Amino acid sequence: MNVDGDIPRRVRVQPRIAESIAAELRERILNGTYSGLLPKQEALVAMFGVSAPPLREALRILEMEGLITVRRGKVGGAVIHLPDGGSVSHAIGMTLQAERVHLRDVGELLANLEPQCAASCAGHPATRAALATQFEENLARAAASLGNGPAFTHWSRQFHDLVVASTPQATTRLVVRSLVAVWSAQEETWAHEAAEVGQYPTDSEQRTVLNAHRRIADRILSGDAAAAERAARSHLIATQKRVVAEFGDRVVDASSPRAVRGLRDVTARRSGNGRMVDHPDAAPSIARLATL
């Protein structure tokens, strides 16, 4: 016991056993040592030389972090979930909602960051080659959806995701794509609400958006980074005006069923190696494509 005037001794506090085990398992999951399933609990008990309770607590810590799901029963085990862009998008969205951040704030940031992604794609030959077919398919599907507001917004937002998902710089790609996913979830909600009350942009306005996407794609595929950045920036500023005018003062939504579905959609596109995910109302019509 210290008495008055004594200098308190520096006590080195050892981490709890469960936290130490969780830290070791976390590192092995993230560096790829473990994938699919963790070893059985009996094997982990023997490996760490501990009893079952601290190991179970360590697994509970990892489960709370979203790195594993513990399944019970004969076919049980700890299923590994590597973090991906979808989980980042949802975490950012929930944080923005908790901080009461307005949609216009997200839009202003994207208007600065997303054009840089377009420029990066234009400056990378391998990226341009990979994007050529994806742009063609996306633009065709958007054209086939003209007149169907929510479906057109769906394919239009996937165009933006294609650009940022192809950005060569990994950190930029992850951060900006996550923000695009958050914005897209809000814009698709706006599209449904506007369509329900007959206030969705006209076919002519939709064609203006489609033509802007075609210009951005052309600038990227031609390798003109400066022109791609300019085209992307002017398009974002123009298209955000309407959404921000009606939704700008709304707090970012990451918890409603529609927002959660939108963020899951992004995860599905990532797990599908960039494939585009169909919108339930967006089946392309070949006959209609031929008339456009």
The domains located in the chain, with CATH, are: 17-80 (1.10.10.10), 85-291 (no CATH)
Residue 199, SS3 per DSSP: coil
What values do phi and psi take at 48, rounded to 5? Answer: -90, -10
CA 212, chain centre distance (Å): 23
pLDDT tens for the chain, 292 residues long, are 454 455 444 444 345 899 999 999 999 999 999 989 999 999 999 999 999 999 999 999 999 888 999 988 777 789 999 887 777 888 899 999 999 999 999 999 999 999 999 999 999 999 999 999 999 999 999 999 999 999 999 999 999 999 999 999 999 999 999 999 999 999 999 999 999 999 999 999 999 999 999 999 999 999 999 999 999 999 999 999 989 998 889 999 998 887 887 777 665 665 444 444 455 444 333 333 333 3
In angstroms, what CA-CA distances link 232 with 18, 53, 162, 228, 263? 49, 55, 13, 6, 23
pLDDT at 278: 53
Alpha carbons 220 and 121: distance in angstroms, whole number: 6
This prediction's pTM: 0.77
